[in-house]
Each structure stands twice: as structure tokens, then as C-alpha cells.
Amino acid sequence: MRTRLRELREDNDLTQEECAKIAYIAKNSYIRYERGERIPPLDTIALFAKFYKTSIDYISYLTDEKEPYPKKSKIATL
């Protein structure tokens, strides 16, 4: 099964080694995440979501929407 991490990596013409460096992890760890043998920690998923400009939900298969969610306004209402 192809994982979203692999799809995103290939869509961006990156190597597994480059992705491991982006996440500050060992190449073997990244390979295991990509193969689905291990689940990456939330902070690693968040880092990749930010790098690829997508959402954590997209990487985790909770949505098929590739675009990140719009940020809500932080204006306080009285």
C-alpha cells in the first residue's frame, strides 16, 4: 500500500534521505513510516504537513482534501 508520505515525497521529487533530513530523523525510520511499518509521531506528521502545505488529516487518511484548512480569524467577539 502506498502511503501519503510516499505520494507527497514522489510528487515533490524528493528522496527518502531528503525527507529524513527534513524531519531530523534517520533514513531507516522514514522508510518504515513510508512503508506503513511504523506510525510517525504527531510532531513528525505536523512537520511534514507544514512542509508539504497540507493537513495532518490528509497525511493520516482522515480526509482526501489535499489543501490545508483555512485559518480562523482570532478576532474576539463581545
pLDDT at 14 over 80: yes
Q: Where are the domains of the chain?
A: 4-59
> Which CATH superfamily, name and number, covers 4-59?
lambda repressor-like DNA-binding domains (1.10.260.40)
pLDDT at 77 over 70: no
Question: Where would I find the beta strands (DSSP E) of 1-78?
Answer: none
- Write the pLDDT tens digit of every residue in 19-30: 999 999 999 999
- Write the pLDDT tens digit of every residue in 24-69: 999 999 999 999 999 999 999 999 999 999 999 999 999 999 988 7
